[in-house]
Amino acid sequence: MDMETLLQYEWNSMWPEFTILLTAVALSLIDLFMNKKKDRSLLIWLALAGIAVAIVCLVLQFDDGVVSILNETYRLDSFAKAFKFLMLIGTGFVLLLGVPDESTSVRGEYIYLILTALLGGMMMASSADLITLFVGLELLSLSSYVLVGIRKTNPLANEAAFKYVVNGGIATAITLFGMSYLYGLTGETNIYEIQGLMGSDVVTDNRFLAVFAFLMIVVGLAFKITAAPFHMWAPDVYQGAETPVTAFLSVVSKIAGFAIMLRLLMVPFVFAPGTGEIITPDGISYETLLVSVRPYLVLLAIVTILVGNVIALRQLNAKRLFAYSSIAHAGYLLVPLAALSELVFEAVWFYLTAYLLMNIGAFAVIHVMSAEEEVTVASFAGLFKRAPYLTIAMSIYLLSLAGIPLTAGFIGKFEIFMSALGTEPKRYLLVTAMLAGTVLSYVYYFGLFVQMYFRPSKRQTPVTISNGVTAVLAITAAGTVLLGVFPSIALTFIHDHFQFLEIFNP
Amino acid sequence: MNESFLLTILILSPLLGIVLLSVMPGNHRFINYMGVLGTVLPLVLTLIVFSLFDRTVSGVQFVEYRQWFELMTSISPNEPYTVAYDLGVTGLSVLFLMLASLITFLASLTALRLKESAKGFYILFLLLELGLLGVFVSENLFLFFLFFEITLVSMFLLVGKWGGFNREKAAFSFMIYNGIGSILLLIVIIVLFVEMKTTNITELTMLLKETDSLEFLSGDTRTWLFVLLLIAFGIKLPIVPFHTWMVRVHVEAPIAVVMIHAGVLLKIGAYGLLRFGVGFFPQQLKDMAVVLAILGVINLLYGAFIALVQTELRSVLAYSSISHMGIVLLGVASFNTAGLQGAVFQTISHGLIAALLFLLVGVIVDRFHTTKLEELGGVASQAPLFAGFLLAAGLASLGLPGMSGFISEFLAFLGLFESMPVIGSVGILGLILTAVYMLRAVLAVTFGERRPLFDGIRDLTAVEIVPSAILLSIIIWIGVYPAVLSNTLQLARTIGIGG
Amino acid sequence: MDYVFLIPILPLLSFLIILFTKPIYKKAGLVGTTLTGAAFLCSLVVLFSHFAQGNYLVEANWFSIDTVMISVGLEVNPLNALMLVIVTLVSFLVHMYSMGYMANDERYATFFSYLGLFTFSMTGLVLSPNLLQLYMFWELVGVCSFLLVGFYFYKPEARAAAKKAFIMTRIGDVGLLVAIFLLFWQTGSFELDVIFQAAQAGDIAPSLLTLIAILIFVGAVGKSGQFPLHTWLPDAMEGPTPVSALIHAATMVAAGVYLVAVTYPLFSASEVAMTTVAVTGGFTAIFAATIALAETDMKRILAYSTISQLGYMMLALGAAGYTAGVFHLTTHAFFKALLFLAAGSVIHAVHEQNIFKMGGLSKKLPKTAALFLIGSLSISGFPLLAGFFSKDEILATTYGDGRYVLFVIGLLTAFLTALYMFRLYFLVFLGNRSTEAREAPSVMLIPMMVLGVLAVVGGYIQTNWFGTFLGDWLETTPYTIAFVHPEAPFWIPLVASLLAIGGIAVAWLVYGRKTSIEESNERNGLHTLLYRKYYVDELYQGLFVRGSRVVAYFWMYVDRFIIEGGAAAVTYAVKRFGQAGVKLQSGQVQTYSTVAFSGLVVVLLLIAVLGGYF
Amino acid sequence: MTGELLVFIVLFLITITGGLLMLNLTKVIHMMMALVLTFLGIAGFYIMLSAEFVAVVQILIYSGAITIIMLFGIMLTKHTEAEPKTGWAKKGVVFTGIVLFFLIMFKGIRTISLGPQADDLHVNNTEQIGIMLYTDYVIPFELVSVVLLVALVGAVVLAKKDEKDEKEGEQS
Amino acid sequence: MSSVPLSAYLVTALLLFCMGLYGALTKRNAVIVLISIELMLNAVNLNLVAFAKYGVGASIRGQVFSLFTITVAAAEAAVGLAILIALYRNRATVNVDEMNTLKK
pLDDT, tens digit, 9 for 90 and up, residues B322-347: 999 999 999 888 888 888 888 988 99
Taking CB atoms and an 8 Å cutoff, what residues of chain A touch D144? 135
Q: What pLDDT, on a 0 to 100 scale, did the predictor assign at position E2?
A: 63
- Secondary-structure breakdown of chain B: helix, strand, coil percentages, each rounded to the nearest 5: 75, 5, 20
pLDDT of residue D172: 37
Residues near D3 by Cβ (< 8 Å), separated by ≥ 6?
none
- Dump pLDDT digits (tens) for B458-480: 888 888 888 899 999 999 998 88
pLDDT score of C519? 62
Residue B497 pLDDT grade (very low, low, confident, very high; cuts 50, 70, 90): very low
pLDDT at A71 over 90: no
% of chain B beyond a pLDDT of 90: 23
The pLDDT of residue B493 is above 70: no
B247-270 pLDDT, tens digit per residue, is 889 888 888 899 999 889 999 999
H or E stretch including B70? strand B61-71
User: In chain D, where are the structural domains located?
Assistant: 1-81
Average model confidence (pLDDT) across chain D: 83
Q: How far apart are CA C318 and CA C324, in angstroms?
A: 10
**Rounded Cα distance, B214 and D155, in Å:** 66
When pLDDT is averaged across residues D11-37 and rounded to a whole number, the result is 89
Nearest to C500 by CA among C440, C388, C418, C558: C418
Number of domains in chain E: 1
Cross-chain residue pair B428–C64, CB shorter than 8 Å: no
E strand or H helix that includes residue C63: strand C56-65
Select from B309, B400, B436 the Cβ nearest to the Cβ of C167: B436
3-state secondary structure of A129: strand
Ranges of residues in chain C with a pLDDT under 70 are 1, 22-25, 66, 433-435, 464-467, 478-488, 513-523
Enter the ipTM: 0.91
Per the CB < 8 A criterion, the answer to whether A343 and A415 are in contact is yes
Nearest CA in chain A to B76: A342
Contact E25 C593 (CB under 8 A): yes
Q: Would you say residue B429 lies in a domain? A: yes
Question: Domain of E46?
Answer: 6-91
HEC sequence for A245-305: HHHHHHHHHHHHHHHHHHHHHHCCCCCCEEEEEEEECCEEEEEEHHHHHHHHHHHHHHHHH
pLDDT of residue B454 exceeding 90, the answer is no
Q: Measure C561 CA to nearest chain E CA, in Å.
A: 34
Q: pLDDT digits over D70-94, tens only?
A: 888 888 877 655 556 667 888 888 9
Q: For residue A83, is pLDDT > 50?
A: yes
Do the Cβ atoms of C587 and A236 come within 8 Å?
A: yes
Distance, CA of A105 to chain centre: 27
Contact partners, residue D87, CB within 8 Å, separation at least 6: none
Buried b (16+ CB within 10 A) or exposed e, C200-213: eeeebeeeebbbbb
Any chains having at least 3 CB pairs less than 8 A from chain E are A, C, D
DSSP H helices in B165-218 = 167-196, 201-210
Taking only the tens place, the pLDDT of each residue in B174-221 is 999 999 999 999 999 998 888 888 888 888 888 887 765 556 677 788
Residues of C near D (CB-CB distance < 8 A)? 590-591, 594, 597-598, 600-601, 604-605, 608, 613-614
Do β-strands C56-65 and C68-76 pair in parallel, antiparallel, or remain unpaired?
Answer: antiparallel
Number of domain units in chain B: 1
- Determine, yes or no, domain membership for B216: no
Residues of D in contact with A128 (CB under 8 A): none
Residue A110 CB burial class (10 angstroms; 0-12, 13-18, ≥19)? buried
Chains that touch A (3 or more CB pairs under 8 A): B, C, D, E
Mind listing the pLDDT tens digit for each residue in D121-139?
777 888 888 888 888 888 8
Q: Is B498 a residue whose pLDDT tops 50?
A: no
- Distant-in-sequence, close-in-space partners of B139: CB < 8 Å, separation ≥ 6: B60, B63, B86, B87, B88, B200, B201, B202
Local structure of A199: helix, strand or coil: coil
Look at A228 and A103; give whichever has higher pLDDT.
Answer: A228
Nearest residue to B248 via CA among B177, B178, B174: B174
Are A94 and A244 in contact by the 8 Å Cβ rule? The answer is yes
Interchain proximity C174–B428, CB inside 8 Å: yes
pLDDT at C483: 63
Q: What is the pLDDT of residue A163?
A: 92
Rounded to the nearest angstrom, the minimum Cα separation between C593 and chain E is 7
Q: What is the separation of C-alpha B452 from the centre of its chain, rounded to a whole number of angstroms? A: 39
Provide the pLDDT for residue B495: 55
Residues of A in contact with B150 (CB under 8 A): 405-406
Give chain C's radius of gyration (CA, Å): 31
**SS3 for A77?**
coil
Q: What is the pLDDT of residue D170?
A: 41
Does a structural domain hold residue B163? no
Model's pTM, two decimal places?
A: 0.91
Query: pLDDT at position D169, please?
Result: 41
Better pLDDT: B300 or C100: B300
Percent pLDDT > 90 in chain A is: 48
Residues paired with residue B65 on neighbouring β-strands, in sequence order: B86
Whether residue E49 is predicted with pLDDT greater than 50 in this model: the reply is yes
Locate all alpha helices (DSSP H) within A340-427, ordered by sequence: 344-369, 383-386, 388-402, 408-421
Tell me which residue range forms the domain holding B411: 288-499
Strands A74-76 and A67-69: antiparallel
Residue of D nearest to A201 (CA): D114
CA B214 to CA B276: how far, in whole Å? 18
For the cut 80, the answer to whether the pLDDT of residue A104 exceeds it is no
- pLDDT, tens digit, for every residue of B306-327? 998 888 888 999 999 999 999 9
3-state SS, A294-347, equals: HHHHHHHHHHHHHHHHHHHCCCCEHHHHHHHHHHHHHHHHHHHHHHCCCCHHHH
Asked if residue B448 belongs to a domain, the reply is yes
CATH no. of D1-81: 1.20.120.1200
d(CA D159, CA E81): 8
Please answer yes or no on whether D100 and C597 come within 8 Å at the CB atom: no
Amino acid at B345: F
Helices and strands (H, E) in chain D, number of each type: 8, 0
B22-52: pLDDT as tens digits:
888 877 778 888 888 889 999 999 999 888 8
User: Cβ distance A100 to A39 under 8 Å?
Assistant: yes
Q: pLDDT value at position A55?
A: 93
Closest residue to C608, CB basis, from D97, D98, D104: D104
pLDDT recorded at residue C393: 83
pLDDT at D164 over 60: no
Among chain A residues, CA nearest to C574: A310
- Report if residue E20 sits inside a domain: yes
| Residue-averaged pLDDT of chain B | 86
- Give the strand pairing for A283-288 and A67-69: unpaired
Question: Please, what is the average pLDDT of chain A?
Answer: 88
Q: Confirm whether B82 is domain-assigned.
A: no
